[in-house]
A and B are shown apart, each in its own frame.
Chain A
């Protein structure tokens, strides 16, 4: 749990998102947001009259709109409402989910709607990300979010062939998942037989990071409605409960990814997972969670981060991928939605992780619904200089008693 007992429980009662696409030239920003907001309200069977506060988030310099919540009032429905805007970079979608949880739990508001969006077509994404770096020290070195360092690390540790195949295997699995998701931006219909060809043919971006392995830049929006326990029980037939969340940032230094196995750099993902599981008495996260919606900006990072998020050792994470246990019907389904490699409207991306994890718990994910019951879900956000936000979602409000013990590590 957090510092103290949560003041009151918070549930997710409405979820909406747009079709994610490279070009939404048919709508402007507020119109695109309006699509997601309308979908979330319809999903919750509410109208704007029921919403007490809107939490808005994205990154201003991608579209070059200053304090866009002002203009976006036309699409968010914030007119006459309370409205705040909180941002943290790539993690922003997860941050507005955490903020919404805090705002409802505080007792200030009964129903809060988080709205994340990005229309990356209207700016220059890699330029925008590069502009994050310190203008004196790092900006001339940064290449947006493109980095070959994770590929270098994995190749150093596991050998070139195994590492490259694991990364491409992950990529193909995500492509298959995205093909099941009607909202996903990209799905090429990749097959496992193409694995070796793709390793050879996909153009390299930086080092061994290949074009096919990198996330897209998308236009899209997502809205999620959070309510207090009383309202959730009144309004929702299949609520999803927020159990806990944690945010971990790191300072801006250029050795953030670690370059030598003898000098490991403490990773924020591992640190966040350790802290979160410890305070929630979870010993075996790989056993506990039924699904993980991970912010996976590139397949190399994704493969490596599985080890951090699930507290794995050695090559356990590589084996999960190699044995296809991360597929929708596997032991630990990762991103049944297709993930960030499938769709990446950055300000919405991390909120979509929460939305998709919640849809899995509800059983409402349609064609990409996991074919086994989902009780416990994990969602992650990634941004900044290796920043992490993690959120745990539960099907039952009384999650500890709902489980039979056994796999749950709360007996100690």
Chain B
């Protein structure tokens, strides 16, 4: 990749179980006003924001063309707006491409999801399956995740005890983040006694229903000083789609994540992620995914996820110091949440969970059953 694209500012509302007092428009407006305040960016047709990338989902919003409801609060009245109708991290990749193309200098990237509005997120994700074979079987992301969890735990010697330590650590880490969902701290025993959702996934192994919204301002390298003195650069993005039918793929192979990571590393000039990247934020919406994705991006040895947990891999590689998606972000927005944590850490604004000396970070996002679609972004200072 040639020129770099900067993230100039980020804004977010707190992750909560349900924003009953706010519609998603209000949640976005808070983020929008914060970005305006931080950067003093305008909507001038020559110099300001001409295009906004949003992220939301028609099914979770129960609204056809979900971006139609946010046009005004993201500033898109008589400006461009394009909705990333996929996991939010891809919106970051697309916004970066729009700037690298020369078509836009400045892009506002905003997203929202109120999972609390849905009757059941399993009903939503059941609709991601074809209506002929998989949907009538009752497949949804949770129970297909369980199939992947069983396959992966067998392959990499990950146990129920390992999953418990992942959950305990996630909640402890998240308690240091003022924007994280406020969850009760738990111990290993409580995790292992929590009810079984879909064997081997227990209730505390799975991310809780969460409402959240965010905003980011992206800008081309030439104009970054207009908006911030401390930019964080996006230097790589890549994605990969796996096949659809579960029987067509090895659920524990990390096929799509390995491809997405390798493509991203090549674009960002990374040879060895263990040496070249100091911070990792992985989209673990279920506990078993933390070591699985760690293997996929190459910071845990293949088939050694269990041992990696025993050896303190998550802490030695600074993985999910935010608590990760496991602590609670909307499923659709996990990648944006990861990227915002990387941004704050790289800028030295991560408060009690700040790591020292991190120059390069990796943010990851995934969507689909058993991680069918994977994407990775590299951020640097």
Is the CB of B81 closer than 8 A to any CB of chain A? Answer: yes
Tell me which residues across on chain A come within 8 A of B51, comparing CB atoms.
247
19 extra interchain contacts, Cβ-Cβ under 8 A, other than A79-B242, A385-B68? A4-B102, A6-B102, A6-B103, A60-B85, A61-B64, A66-B124, A73-B241, A74-B244, A79-B241, A80-B259, A82-B263, A84-B84, A128-B64, A132-B65, A248-B78, A249-B77, A251-B72, A251-B77, A384-B71
**Inter-chain contacts of B137 with A (CB < 8 A):** none
Are A84 and B239 closer than 8 Å at their CB atoms?
yes
Residues of A within 8 A of B (CB): 2-7, 28, 54, 57, 59-62, 64-71, 73-74, 78-89, 95, 98-99, 101-108, 128-129, 131-132, 134-135, 245-252, 266, 268, 271, 275, 383-385
Chain B interface main SS type: mixed
Q: Does B381 contact A (CB under 8 A)?
A: no
Question: Is the beta-carbon distance between A249 and B76 smaller than 8 angstroms?
Answer: yes
When the two chains form the complex, which single residue of A4, A6, A57, A252 contacts B71, counting CB atoms closer than 8 Å?
A252
Q: When A and B form their complex, what is the total count of cross-chain residue pairs whose Cβ atoms lie within 8 Å?
A: 216
Contact of B128 among A3, A67, A95, A384 (CB under 8 A): A67
Given contacts A81-B240, A251-B72, contact A4 B77 (CB under 8 A): no
Residues of chain B whose beta carbon lies under 8 Å from any beta carbon of chain A:
1-2, 45, 50-51, 57-59, 62-65, 67-69, 71-72, 76-86, 90, 93-94, 96-106, 124-125, 127-132, 220, 222, 237-245, 255-256, 259-260, 263, 267, 367-369, 372-373
Which 6 A-B pairs have CB atoms at the shortest separation, nearest pair first? Answer: A247-B80, A105-B101, A251-B72, A106-B100, A106-B97, A66-B127
Q: Given A28-B132, A66-B124, A83-B373, does the pair A2, B85 have CB atoms closer than 8 Å?
A: no
Q: In the complex, which residues of chain A have a beta carbon less than 8 angstroms from the beta carbon of B50?
A: 3
Task: Report chain B residues within 8 Å CB of A98.
Answer: 82
Q: Which residues of B contact A248 (CB under 8 A)?
A: 78-80
A66 lies within 8 A of B65 (CB):
no
Residues of A contacting B2 in the complex (Cβ-Cβ under 8 angstroms): 7, 107
Chain B residues in 8 Å Cβ range of A131: 62-64
A84 to B90, CA, bound (A): 7
A residues less than 8 Å from B239 (CB atoms): 82-84
Q: Are A61 and B58 closer than 8 Å at their CB atoms?
A: yes
Nearest-neighbour CB distance to chain B for A239, whole angstroms, equals 18
Interchain Cβ contacts under 8 Å between A and B, 5 examples: A70-B369, A87-B67, A98-B82, A106-B97, A107-B100
Given contact pairs A108-B237, A250-B77, A102 touches B243 in the complex (Cβ within 8 A): no
B128 touches A66 (CB 8 A): yes
Contact in complex: A251, B128 (CB < 8 Å)? no
Which of B68, B131, B222, B255 lies at the interface centre, i.e. has the most chain A CB atoms within 10 A of its CB?
A: B68
Q: Across the interface, do B244 and A70 meet the contact criterion of CB distance under 8 Å?
A: yes
CB distance A82 to B65 under 8 Å?
no
Please determine whether A99 and B103 come into contact, CB atoms closer than 8 angstroms.
no
Q: For residue A75, which residue of chain B has the nearest CB?
A: B244
Min Cβ gap A6→B in Å is 5
Q: What residue in chain B is nearest A87 (Cβ atoms)?
A: B85
Partner of B241, one of A78, A89, A246: A78
Q: In the complex where A2-B102, A6-B101 touch, is A249 in contact with B241 (Cβ < 8 A)?
A: no
CB distance from B138 to the nearest CB of A (A): 15
Q: How far is the CB of B125 from chain A (nearest CB, A)?
A: 6
CA distance A245 to B242 in the complex (A): 32
Docked CA distance A62–B63 (Å): 11
Which of A79, A82, A102 meets B98, CB within 8 Å? A102
Is there an interface contact between B93 and A129, defined as CB atoms closer than 8 Å? no
A250 and B244 contacting across the interface, CB-CB below 8 Å: no
Partner of B83, one of A62, A82, A86: A86
Instruction: Determine if A69 and B101 form an interchain contact, defined as CB atoms under 8 angstroms apart.
Output: no
B69 → chain A closest CB, angstroms: 6
A102 near B101: Cβ-Cβ < 8 Å? yes
Q: How far is the CA of A112 from the CA of B161 in the complex (A)?
A: 45
Contacting pair B267 A108 (CB below 8 A): yes
Among residues of B, the one whose C-beta sits closest to the C-beta of A81 is B241
Give the residues in chain A near B369, CB-CB below 8 Å. 70
Nearest Cβ in chain B — how far from A188, in angstroms? Answer: 29
